C-alpha cells in the first residue's frame, strides 16, 4: 500500500516551495546573485485548524492553492513520492502573495 497523500493535522500547512526563475523574462540565464531568492511556496493541503483554550477550532488563514511567503527559518521537511515538501504552522506563514 503506497501512502501518497498527507492530510496535515491541527493548524499545520503542507507546502511545495516555488523555485525562483533561473532565467530572466528574456530567457537569459540569471547569475545566482540576481536570482530573486524570495521564499515562496504553494499550499498543497491545510489542517482543520488549532484548538483555542476553550477547545474551539480556529479557522485556517490560508487554503489549498494559495501562494504564500515563508519565514526564513522553521518548517519540517517531508519526502512524499520522491517530492520534497514542507510543513509549517499556520501562524508561521508571513503572507499571501498575489499578482
Site of interaction with a second copy (CB under 8 A): 1-10, 12, 14, 36, 38, 40, 47-48, 51-58, 61-62, 67-69, 71-72, 76, 78-80, 87, 90-91, 93-99
Residue 23 burial (10 A CB sphere; 0-12, 13-18, 19+): exposed
- Contact, 44 vs 66, CB < 8 A? no
Q: Which is nearer to a second copy, 28 or 98 (CB)?
A: 98
Of the two residues 5 and 19, which places its CB atom closer to a second copy in the complex? 5
Cβ distance to a second copy smaller for residue 64 or 91: 91
What is the closest distance, in whole angstroms, from the C-beta atom of residue 17 to a second copy in the complex?
Answer: 13
- Supply the Cα-derived Rg of the chain in whole angstroms: 16
For residues 41 and 65, give the distance between their C-alpha atoms in angstroms, rounded to a whole number: 10
Amino acid at each position: 500500500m503506497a501512502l501518497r497523500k498527507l492530510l496535515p493535522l491541527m493548524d499545520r500547512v503542507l507546502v511545495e516551495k516555488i523555485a525562483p526563475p533561473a532565467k530572466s523574462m528574456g530567457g537569459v540565464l540569471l547569475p545566482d546573485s540576481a536570482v530573486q531568492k524570495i521564499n515562496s511556496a504553494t499550499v498543497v493541503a491545510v489542517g482543520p485548524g488549532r484548538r483555542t483554550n476553550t477547545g474551539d477550532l480556529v479557522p485556517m488563514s490560508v487554503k489549498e492553492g494559495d501562494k504564500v511567503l515563508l519565514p526564513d527559518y522553521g518548517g519540517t521537511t517531508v519526502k512524499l513520492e520522491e517530492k520534497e515538501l514542507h510543513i509549517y504552522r499556520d501562524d508561521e506563514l508571513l503572507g499571501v502573495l498575489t499578482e
